Homo-oligomer: A and B are copies of this chain.
Amino acid sequence: MQKIGFIGTGVMGSGIINNLLNANYNVDIYTRTKSKAEPLIAKGAKWFADPKDVAESADIIFTMVGFPQDVEDVYFKDNGIFSGLGKGKIIVDMTTSTPTLAKKIGEKAEKVGVETLDAPVSGGDVGAREGNLTIMVGGSKKAYQELQPIFKIIGKTNHYFGTYGAGQHAKMANQIMIAGTMTGLTEMFVYAKAAGLDLQSVLETVEGGGGDNWSLENYGPRILKGDFKPGFYSKHFLKDLRVALDESEKMHLNLPATAQAKKLYEKLVDEKDLGNDGTQALIKLW
């Protein structure tokens, strides 16, 4: 059985690692703060002091960290993954990051005989815990096929979209869709409240028709309860929208509704300092 390395043991990473341990994989982990990984270590994961050590020990190395800069660090810095990689290994970045960085990692890895995948996911912390993630994959098709048994432990569906960065592009498409449901949901409630309507009835009515959507069903009730705990951090969603719009610019595309959503989340995260709230906190701007 291949030995798995996993770098980044946040909410998402922990859920995934747990499922891999349950499936009897050996999992080598690295995380900046060892104490945070204690529950995983108690369950059998082996902790290492550097990404390099994980890369030396494991056959397949997954990364799932916060921002593209973290991905860059974990791969390219001294004692980073590339300093420990050897021929025949596979690296898989599950962070939602930039297609450009995915390409940079993939091309560098090719030179040392390492196969690379970018494989961001959707489905959130619940999906990670329950092994129900949707995985969007770009990079080496050979590695994609080889990793099917592992992807099936982690997620309910996976799609291969093409070369390095294609998984990231698919995730961006997903986030662009969600930018629409989140802004629509927020402004719907803002309007309904100002008009004096019963918000629970509005929620039920809109759910019953052509306005129905996942964000409405999942975040609508939380907004009405004043629950702004993160299912997904606003700061991470803003990062995603920035990546999507940077990439759009490179492709000479103008996406005005997504750009408007980014402006609103910038206000929430940068001006109001609410980046650690969930994305449903957008309504706090009103």
Binding site for B on A (CB under 8 A): 99, 122-124, 127, 134, 136, 156-157, 159, 161-162, 166, 169-170, 172-192, 194-198, 201-202, 204-206, 208-216, 218, 232, 244, 247-248, 251, 253, 255-258, 260-261, 263-264, 286
Q: Which residues of B contact A208 (CB under 8 A)?
A: 122, 134, 156-157
Contact B191 A248, beta carbon cutoff 8 Å? yes
Contact A159 B124, beta carbon cutoff 8 Å? no
Contact A159 B205, beta carbon cutoff 8 Å? yes
Q: Which of B169, B173, B185, B256 is close to A180, meaning CB atoms less than 8 Å apart?
A: B185
Contact B213 A212, beta carbon cutoff 8 Å? yes
Residue in A174, A188, A191, A218 with the greatest tally of chain B CB atoms within 10 Å = A191
The CA-CA distance from A257 to B261 in the complex, in Å, is 7
Q: Which residues of B contact A190 (CB under 8 A)?
A: 253, 255
Copies in the complex: 2
Q: Which residues of B contact A189 (CB under 8 A)?
A: 173
The CA-CA distance from A16 to B257 in the complex, in Å, is 35
Q: Which residues of B contact A134 (CB under 8 A)?
A: 205, 208-209
Q: Which residues of B contact A172 (CB under 8 A)?
A: 191, 195
Contact A123 B209, beta carbon cutoff 8 Å? yes
Name the residue of chain B whose CB is nearest to the CB of A244. B191
Contact B257 A257, beta carbon cutoff 8 Å? yes
Name the residue of chain B whose CB is nearest to the CB of A122. B209
Contact A176 B187, beta carbon cutoff 8 Å? yes
The CA-CA distance from A202 to B244 in the complex, in Å, is 15
Q: Which of B182, B186, B247 is close to A195, meaning CB atoms less than 8 Å apart?
A: B247
Name the residue of chain B whose CB is nearest to the CB of A252. B194
Contact A257 B187, beta carbon cutoff 8 Å? yes
Contact A181 B211, beta carbon cutoff 8 Å? yes
Known A-B contacts A134-B209, A197-B162; A187 and B258 likewise in contact (beta carbons under 8 Å) = yes
Known A-B contacts A184-B179, A261-B257; A211 and B174 likewise in contact (beta carbons under 8 Å) = yes
Q: Which residues of B contact A187 (CB under 8 A)?
A: 176, 179-180, 255, 257-258
Question: Would you give the shortest CB distance from A162 to chain B, in whole angstroms?
Answer: 7
The CA-CA distance from A255 to B244 in the complex, in Å, is 22
Q: Which of B136, B173, B264 is close to A257, meaning CB atoms less than 8 Å apart?
A: B264
Contact A173 B196, beta carbon cutoff 8 Å? no
The CA-CA distance from A206 to B181 in the complex, in Å, is 12
Question: Would you give the shortest CB distance from A235 to chain B, in whole angstroms?
Answer: 17
Name the residue of chain B whose CB is nearest to the CB of A179. B184
